[in-house]
């Protein structure tokens, strides 16, 4: 085996332990010169990402490779956050902004497409397979302050609907970011007001307003159904617990993937078999047909009340 071939194999072995990423300096240390690196890049066997080598060019986990490249460029104290960290924590979202946090005294040179945060907010960090990732709540907050206003609202609704974050986690994490001059403080204050009612989406907020305007009482938002032993098994958008009526609100857009869709249907079947009447309304129905929606709910309440009296 020729020397260059063995040196390239050594780079590939190192890359396998670093999510497919090696720095150009690491490749040189293993005997692969800049000229040899350029040949590998020109052949398509390797590629460049944020100034690092991706070996092979198509990695197994693109987000882990991006995170590793960010850390290689930004240093051991940096934290990968934003959409990349969210996906590595298991969230499904299409946003591709690259966001990382660096200590305020560092001024790294990196592609303009990377948003570098240098505030003094302490982020909760999870170290996974050598990657320093912001926790789900911190990665979400960093995303919300960097996307546009409309997207921030949609993303927050989705995070609450899919339980990426709870109201309590939001309440615990946000105050530290609201100080004078903090990046995104105004945005986070506005979003905090948006979820103050305890609902998870624009559709749910509109449903709560509709119920109040219609004078319908006895409902609870985000009602948790528990097993006989007290273990939570489902959270309902709205519930009339005494009558076992559940109201579910489908948002303006389909936010769930196939797995979430299947899980939601299984959950609805479980509720029905457990004696719950499940009513589903879309955002469009709540907005355009409020009288019909409130009428359906009143009818359900009347029927269930009558059955309760008979039994």
C-alpha 85/C-alpha 126 separation (Å) is: 10
pLDDT above 80 for 118: yes
pLDDT tens across 52-81, in order? 999 999 988 999 999 999 999 999 899 999
Predicted local confidence at residue 158, as pLDDT: 87
C-alpha 240/C-alpha 104 separation (Å) is: 51
pLDDT above 70 for 292: yes
Predicted local confidence at residue 105, as pLDDT: 83
The H-or-E segment that residue 18 falls in is: none
C-alpha 188/C-alpha 146 separation (Å) is: 11
The total of other beta-carbon atoms located within 10 Å of residue 289's CB is 14
Tell me if residue 246 falls in helix, strand or coil: strand
Residue 74, CA atoms < 13 Å, CB-side half-sphere: 29
Angle formed at CA 273 by CA 246 and CA 237, multiple of 5 degrees: 20
pLDDT tens across 21-57, in order? 999 999 999 999 999 999 999 999 999 999 999 999 9
The total of other beta-carbon atoms located within 10 Å of residue 189's CB is 13
For every residue of 2-63, DSSP letters joined together read: -HHHHHHHHHHHHHHTTTTEE-HHHHHHTT--HHHHHHHHHHTSSEEETTEEESSSS-S-HH
For the chain, domains (ranges, CATH) are: 3-54 (no CATH), 62-194 (no CATH), 202-310 (3.40.960.10)
C-alpha 196/C-alpha 266 separation (Å) is: 30
C-alpha 250/C-alpha 19 separation (Å) is: 38
């Amino acid at each position: 085996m020729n020397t260059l071939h063995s040196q390239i194999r050594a780079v590939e072995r190192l890359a396998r332990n670093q999510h497919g990423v090696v720095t150009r300096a690491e490749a040189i240390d293993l005997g692969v010169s800049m000229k040899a690196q350029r040949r590998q890049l020109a052949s398509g066997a390797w590629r460049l990402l944020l100034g690092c080598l991706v070996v092979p060019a198509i990695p197994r986990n693109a987000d882990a490779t991006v995170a590793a490249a960010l850390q290689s460029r930004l240093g051991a104290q940096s934290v990968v956050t934003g959409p990349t960290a969210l996906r590595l924590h298991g969230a499904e979202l299409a946003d591709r902004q690259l966001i990382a946090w660096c200590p305020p005294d560092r001024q790294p040179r990196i592609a303009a497409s990377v948003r570098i945060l240098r505030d003094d907010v302490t982020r909760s960090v999870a170290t996974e397979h050598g990657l320093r990732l912001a926790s789900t709540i911190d990665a979400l907050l960093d995303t919300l302050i960097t996307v546009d206003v409309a997207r921030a609202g949609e993303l927050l609704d989705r995070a609450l609907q899919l339980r990426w974050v709870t109201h309590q986690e939001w309440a615990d994490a946000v105050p530290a970011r609201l100080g004078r001059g903090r990046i995104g403080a105004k945005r986070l204050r506005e979003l905090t007001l948006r979820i103050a009612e305890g609902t998870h989406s624009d559709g749910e907020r509109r449903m709560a307003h509709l119920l109040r305007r219609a004078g319908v009482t006895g409902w609870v938002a985000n009602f948790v159904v528990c097993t006989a032993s007290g273990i939570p098994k489902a959270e309902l958008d709205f519930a009339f617990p005494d009558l076992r009526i559940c109201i579910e609100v489908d948002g303006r857009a389909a936010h769930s993937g196939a797995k979430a869709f299947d899980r939601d249907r299984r959950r609805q079947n479980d509720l029905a078999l457990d004696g719950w009447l499940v009513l589903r309304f879309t955002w469009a129905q709540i907005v355009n047909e409020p009288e019909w929606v409130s009428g359906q709910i009143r009818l359900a309440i009347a029927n269930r009340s009558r059955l309760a009296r008979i039994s």
